[in-house]
Structures are given as C-alpha cells and as structure tokens.
Chains A and B, each alone.
Chain A
Amino acid sequence: MAEKERLSRETMAFRVAKEFQDGMVVNLGIGIPTLCVNYPSPDKEILYHTENGALNFGPIATPEDGDLDLVNAGGQLVTTKPGMSLFSHDESFAMIRGGHIDLCVLGAMQVSEKGDLANWLLPERGIGSIGGGMDLAIGAKRLIVVMEHTTKDGQPKILRKCNYELTAPECVDMIVTDLAVIDVAKEGLVLKELAPGWTAAEVQGLTEPRLIVSSDVKEVEIM
C-alpha cells in the first residue's frame, strides 16, 4: 500500500507561522524553522532575532547582493531593514536567557511526552554541536518544535522518554509535524490537528506515548 501523503516542509512552516502574533520577537532555528519567515500574514509586524547579533533583519539576500558581514544564525546572507539593530554575542544571549524572546522555533531529533527536547547529538556520531539550542529552549517564553513525525526508517520521534542526549528538559510547548499538531500540556500530549487524510489512530500508531485526542480535533489548514 502506498504511504499516505504527509505535510510538506512549507506547509509545516505555514502552520507554525500561524502562531506568530503581531509585535512578537521570534527566533528561528536552522532548517524548517527558517522557512516560517515566509508565512506570517503581512498585517503582522514580527521582529526576528538571530543569535549572532541582529534584531529585525531583512529577508535572505541573493548571492550577488549579499554581504559577508550580514548573516543569520544558519549562515545565510540576509539583508538590512529599517529598524534593524546589531549587537554583540553576550548581549544577544542576555536577550535569550533573560526572557526577552517571545517565541522560538527549533527542529528536533526527539521530543518526550513531558516536552523534553533532544536536538543536537546523534549517538552514532559521538560528537555534536550544541550551538544556541540549550539557551533558546530554556530562555524563550514559548518553544515550538517542528519536525518530521518519524525517523527515516519510520520509527517514532515522539517518545515516552528521549534516549538521545537532552537539549533541555520540559521545555517544548507545541509540536508541529508532517502528520499532526500536538500541544504539550500538563495532562499529557494533546492531539489538536491532523494532516488531511490521517486519522488519530494512525498518528497514535506512529507515536510512542499515548495521545489525548482533543474534543475539537480538526484538519491542519493547507496553504
């Protein structure tokens, strides 16, 4: 039987961006999170923060237009924007650690039912790069994880307990995957939205901990 269609990376980013509220300070991790910048509705003014020392920077630059002295945390060349500010690394992490970032979006290798996050160390490599993930996971007021629901060989990435090294314990507030939108609540993982064509039972089958199906569970909106 052919595998059912899952949400594209762009649709996942689109769904995450619906959480961005007008006036928020948002930090986007590397990978799918970076795509979110394309989707908040234009009537919202979002201030994007990057760890390497800029707030309210502009869109990705073209290679011809880019400037080696203006990059985001993913190393992409970005552009200037009216109202941009620049600062040192210690200042940038004072912003993060001090609770001045409203929302952070990160990728993940594993998330536990308590909202523990593992996103930096592949055991088979033996060494990884923590980067700013630990600081962001603890420091941001709200943390959304966006990731594929399962590993490349179909194993669940949402687990009772992470078996990879943790980035931070009990830090994830919401999980957006290519199959579902899940809230990390006190009572457990609450299944709020499903990818079109998928049932709660099917998603549960690819998730290790028990999911609490929300009484108003609905379909993820497609772009």
Chain B
Amino acid sequence: MAINKVVASFDEAVKDIFDGATILIGGFGTPGGSPSYLIEALSRQGAKDLTIVGNTVGIGKELMQVVASFMSVPEWWYDGGQLAANRQVRKGIAAFPVSASPLLVSPFEKQLRAGEVEIEIVPQGTLAERIRAAKAGIGAFYCPIGPGTMVEKGKETKVIDGKKHVLEYAIKADFGLIRAYKADRLGNLIYRGTSRTFNATMAGAAKVTIVEVDEVVDAGELDPERIATPALYIDRIVVRPDEGRAQIKQKISKEEQLQT
C-alpha cells in the first residue's frame, strides 16, 4: 500500500500527546517558523505537565504583538506561550526563555517567578546539538561552550586540545512539532528562508515528529537536490488551512529562491 503520512486534522495529529510528555517545538521565536496550528491543537487537547524544548519557550500572542511591533502578527499565529498561558507546561528547556526586556513578562516568566514551573537554560548552539545528538543516536558529547560559567555547574568536564569541554547529553523527546513549507506524502520536506532553523534540526529527533505544512505535493514534485529533511524523519503531516498560507502565497512569485 502506498505510504501516506498525511493526517486529516491538527486535532488528530496531536491526540496521543500524553501528560508529562517532552515536546520539541520548532521555530526560532519569531512569527515565521512556528508550528502554530499544532500548538493551538495541543492547547485544545489539554495534555498537562509538559516539558517543552525550543529556542524560546514562547511568549504568547499578546506579548508577541508588542515585541514584533514592526510587523503584523498573523491571527493564526501561536507559540509555546499559548501552552504556558493554558497551564500545560511544567518545565522549559530553552536558550531564550524570557524576552529581552525585563518589562515584557510572558506567562511562562510569571509562572517561573511564582515557582510554578522550572527552566533549564541552555546555550543556543548546545541546545541545537543536544537535539541533533538525539536524532543521530549520540548519547552525549563534549562541548567547548560553557566552561567558566554557570552552564558548567554539575557537569563532567574534560580538557581536549588544551581547552576545557563540558559533557552535554542528548535531549530525548516524545514528540516533535515542526513547521515546513511543503511535504510529499512520504514526508520529504522543504522549508522557506530562515524558517528552516530549529525545524530541520528537530525533524527526526523525537520518537514521533509531526510537521505542519502549507501544501502536500505529489511524490516526485520536490527536487531531490533540494529536500532538506528526508522522509524517514517524519511520522505525521498536517496541512494548514488557507488562512495560514495567504500571507506566504503573495510573496511566492518574487521570492521563489526562498524555497530551500
């Protein structure tokens, strides 16, 4: 039977996410690249005590409109902040857990100050590599980032080529929620622009990787030379409704080179 990883709805795609699960959430923290519809579906689904892993833990819609004052944040946009606001998060693992300004306090930061959630702050490159290590079957690696700072605390160290390294473990996750531009039914993916970011890094790093895309095309339509994420990393595909694509669509004609 022909392989087809496309599932009918966002709700169906996230229905087996369980209380206490560890979830990778793709994107960088800016409005592009966030698996918005999957996050929205997970907030409807209601799984609790989640550990969420990403560059940010999300700041929520309200704050994003303030931070990203130079652009209009789309109606359909969500980040992990939606899960924090909905009290579904127990712990965050992130490089950028709070906004740059102390005056802009996200739902997660409020809960952190109240002692209701935990945070593990990880240097951004170390975070990316710990996720990649999980995908690549590496248990841990020695990393030169962190010695002489609080990142070193409690970690094994080793001097390699005269430089101190800290031992960093792979981040094992149950689910990965990512965003890509186009998929074929097998799960091959291409991204657009800088929305590749953590999405491509996280593809295949969790036990189950779920991707939200603008469009599913026939097998063979994606140029094999341009596929950034090969099919075997992807378990489920869900297609965004039109409203989530309109903004992107108008750009396509002049920005074809952003398809990667």
| Chain A positions near chain B (C-beta within 8 angstroms) | 30, 50-54, 63, 66-72, 75-77, 80, 84, 86-90, 92-93, 96-97, 116, 122, 124-135, 138-139, 165-170
Contacts and interface: CB of A to CB of B under 8 A. Distances in A.
Contacts of B125: 92-93, 96-97, 132, 134-135, 139
A213 B195 CA distance: 47
Given A68-B30, A90-B131, A93-B128, A131 B196 contact: no
17 contacts: A51-B124, A67-B255, A71-B193, A86-B193, A88-B201, A92-B125, A93-B124, A93-B125, A125-B98, A127-B112, A127-B119, A127-B121, A129-B98, A129-B121, A130-B122, A131-B95, A135-B124
Contacts, number: 171
B81 interface: no
Contacts of B201: 88-90
A97 B150 contact: no
Interface in B206-260: 228, 247-248, 251, 255, 257-258, 260
Interface core residue of B121, B194, B199 (most chain A CB under 10 Å): B194
Interface residues of B, number: 64
B71 interface: yes
A15 B90 CA distance: 46
Contacts of A84: 257
Contact of A75 (B68, B98, B200, B228): B68
A130 B248 CA distance: 31
A87 B200 CA distance: 9
A126 B151 CA distance: 15
Contacts of A53: 194, 196-197
Nearest to A54: B194
B28 A80 contact: no
Interface in B29-46: 29-33
Interface of B: 28-33, 55-56, 67-68, 70-72, 74, 95-100, 102, 109, 112-113, 119, 121-126, 128-129, 131-132, 143-151, 181, 191-201, 228, 247-248, 251, 255, 257-258, 260
A130 B55 CA distance: 10
A68 B197 contact: no
A86 B200 CA distance: 11
Contacts of A126: 113
Contact of B197 (A67, A88, A124, A135): A88
A98 B30 CA distance: 26
Contacts of A134: 123-126, 145-146, 149, 151
Interface core residue of B56, B181, B260 (most chain A CB under 10 Å): B260
A68 B124 contact: no
Nearest to A135: B125
A128 B98 contact: yes
Contacts of A170: 148
B132 A67 contact: no
B196 A63 contact: no
A98 to B, nearest CB: 10
Interface core residue of A30, A52, A128, A133 (most chain B CB under 10 Å): A52
